[in-house]
Amino acid sequence: MSTAFVAPEDIETETLEAAVKARHWLHRHPEIALREYDTTHFITDQLASYGIETRQQTASGSADDRSDHQLGTGVVADIHGLQGDGPTLALRADIDGLPLAENADHPFASLNPGMMHACGHDLHTASLLGAAKELQGHRDRFRGTVRLLFQPAEESELGAQKVLAAGWLDGVDLIVGYHNHPGLPVGTVGISSKAIMSGNYRFDVTIHGKGAHGSRPEDSADPIAAFTAMSAQIQTIVSRNVSPLEPVVVSITQVRSGSAWNVIPSDLEFHGTARAFNRHSAELIQERLTRIVQGVSDAYAVRSDLDWSVRAVPIENDPDLASALARSAESYALHVIEPQPSLGSDDFADFQHSGIPGLFSFIGSNGDPGASGWHTPNFEAKDSALPYAIDYYTHAVDTLLA
């Protein structure tokens, strides 16, 4: 197999071809959060072929095989440099796909019905496998330890928190990761000392009213009418409480109620997400949402339950790491940019907030006019982004473990 692009001089052609082949296999076989069993086996087998032994742990803390560690899926492994003792640097890639049917005609489209890599985690995983192969073959270039973290369940199920609880990052001094960005051209690497992805907050509301026949609305405590009022007021949380210069989003995304066209239902549930780059804004949204739900419920004689949960905190990059890796990127990237922040989120932030200095960046993966964004059936990350992603990892090691 040969790639459709030229490998950079510092990446072996064999490594890049293996990474492309791995990426295509992963894309054909997407698996959703905490069910990435075949993906886990594939990663483990690939690492073994490079002479890298995985180090999963059972709940009791003793070493065991890949099928019986604490999380059930995901892979962690170490590569020890030959230049002596030094820090432990974790390189992270997420491995899960999404419950979304793919609309693509390329030869490595998903074979798993209703599932696809609509966020490019297959690219992330393949690039870390490529970096692992390079680093294992050049251990004389660095000191300390590189910890390879193939994280499950980034899209849901709080995978980063589970990884931390399992102790997979115990002893790690620094951590580096990235996300592909279809809006940026291939060859672009975006590195910033600022927050580049927002916090992700979920709200779930259930309105308990009183049902009645549609011909007798006076007998009801109508949850639909209450929801309509709540929805209108929720739209003012940002517009009337947050400066227009500050990026904040509140969106209602799901509404469920009723089972008959002529009956006013007794209950209604709605769900949504909020995005913010700082704790103050997140707390303001939660406080205003709580007051709106309670106030409208009282006015409409219904009772409501509100649950607010933190799905991911904002990315907070370490300025020293950002500066060092931005300078390093100039040696391999076509364009090194200060990226525009995204109101998307990534639980890589949990590693940073646990006290591990970290850097999370964007790597251009498409850039074509009209390229589909993350979490869409037509999402496409290009193979040609792989060498830049591999270089991002290996240059991080060269820079931080020199």
pLDDT tens, 141-197? 999 999 999 999 999 999 999 999 999 999 999 999 999 999 999 999 999 999 899
Q: Closest Cα partner for 32 from 133, 196, 159, 147?
A: 159
pLDDT tops 80 at residue 1: no
- Phi and psi at 245, nearest 5°, equal -85, -5
Can you spell out the DSSP letters for 50-73?
A: TT--B--B-TTS-B--TTSSSSSS
Domains of the chain: 13-196+315-400 (3.40.630.10), 199-312 (3.30.70.360)
pLDDT (average), residues 57-71:
45
Q: Closest Cα partner for 196 from 343, 94, 93?
A: 343
DSSP secondary-structure letter at 366?
E
**Where are the strands (E) in 287-385, listed by range?**
303-312, 335-337, 358-366
Instruction: Output the pLDDT for position 9.
Output: 65
Share the mean pLDDT of the chain: 94
Annotated binding residues, as ranges?
A: 119, 121, 155, 179, 375
pLDDT tops 50 at residue 19: yes
Per-residue pLDDT tens over the stretch 350-397: 999 999 999 999 999 999 999 999 999 999 999 999 999 999 999 999
pLDDT tops 70 at residue 204: yes
Q: What are the CA-CA distances from residue 311 to residues 10, 93, 156, 157, 158 (Å)?
A: 38, 18, 8, 9, 7
Annotated binding residues for Mn(2+), as ranges?
A: 119, 121, 155, 179, 375
pLDDT (average), residues 262-288:
97
Q: Closest Cα partner for 396 from 18, 150, 159, 87?
A: 87
Helix (H, G, I), strand (E, B) or coil at 143: coil
H-type helices in 77-158, by residue range?
A: 121-137
pLDDT (average), residues 285-292:
98
Per-residue pLDDT tens over the stretch 222-267: 999 999 999 999 999 999 999 999 999 999 999 999 999 999 999 9
With beta carbons less than 8 A apart as the criterion, state whether 361 and 389 touch: no
Per-residue pLDDT tens over the stretch 65-99: 433 346 899 999 999 999 999 999 999 999 999 99
pLDDT (average), residues 207-227:
98
Instruction: Say if strands 267-276 and 335-337 run parallel, antiparallel, or are unpaired.
Output: unpaired
Instruction: Output the pLDDT for position 105.
Output: 86
Which amino acid, one-letter code, is at 227?
A: F
pLDDT tops 60 at residue 331: yes
CA 8/CA 19 separation, integer angstroms: 14
Q: pTM of this prediction?
A: 0.90
Per-residue pLDDT tens over the stretch 299-328: 999 999 999 999 999 999 999 999 999 999
CA 183/CA 62 separation, integer angstroms: 44
CA 365/CA 77 separation, integer angstroms: 26
